[in-house]
Amino acid sequence: MGFTKKASVLLLLLLSLLLIASEEMVAVEGRTCESASTRFKGTCVRSSNCASVCQGEGFPDGKCEGVRRRCMCRKPC
């Protein structure tokens, strides 16, 4: 019984690390580069607000993404 509980905890930890690692990666699709906003504060709910902050940072666009709802600024690579 103890081994099963340890295995479950280990599996949960590994899945959590995988999720965190995938959030930190910078996606490059269709020659568009993304970078986390340095000025956006709080949880990103509306992509239009994110886009406004990103434009102030010199990016043409921004979008709320991921489980943690971070503001990601976008620009052509």
Per-residue model confidence (pLDDT) at position 20: 61
Structural domains present in the chain: 2-76 (3.30.30.10)
Among 60, 62, 35, which Cα is nearest to 49's?
Answer: 62
* Element of type H or E holding 49: helix 47-56
Spell out, as residue ranges, where the chain has pLDDT lower than 50. Answer: none
The torsion angles phi and psi of 24, rounded to 5 degrees, stand at -80, -15
Nearest to 35 by CA among 61, 12, 68, 56: 61
Tens digit of each residue's pLDDT (9 = 90 or more) over 29-49 = 568 999 999 999 999 999 999
pLDDT at site 22: 56
Q: Could you tell me if 65 and 28 are in contact, meaning their C-beta atoms sit under 8 angstroms apart?
A: no
